[in-house]
Amino acid sequence: MAIDKIAERLKAEGYKNKYKSWDITNGSTVAKILCNDIYWGVTRFGDVITENTHEPLVTREQFEKVRKIKKKRQEIYGSLNKEPCKCQ
């Protein structure tokens, strides 16, 4: 599913951040979320990475699968965002 389609679906389902200021209509917001490893239970503080600090929303395998798909699509189509994916 394309990032813009994900954004449209999340908006239609009423998803927002806890401050209700999250612009989910923006595909680049969804792209940043898909590259944020905090969703599989990792916390970063500077150069220190700690796993299992909280209950993950996705498994590491799911996260890695998305990361690989995004990387492959960037190689094929290039980055449509100003910033390329910063997935680790």
Domain boundaries, the chain: 1-27, 35-88
Q: Decide: residue 32, CB within 10 A, 0-12 exposed, 13-18 middle, 19+ buried.
A: middle
Kindly tell me if the per-residue pLDDT of 69 is higher than 80: yes
% pLDDT > 90, the chain: 3
Q: What backbone phi and psi angles, to 5 degrees, belong to 21?
A: -115, 0
Q: Do residues 40 and 59 lie in contact, with contact meaning Cβ atoms separated by under 8 Å?
A: yes
Does the reported pTM lie above 0.75?
Answer: no
pLDDT at 80: 57
d(CA 47, CA 38): 14
% pLDDT > 70, the chain: 77
pLDDT at 35: 80
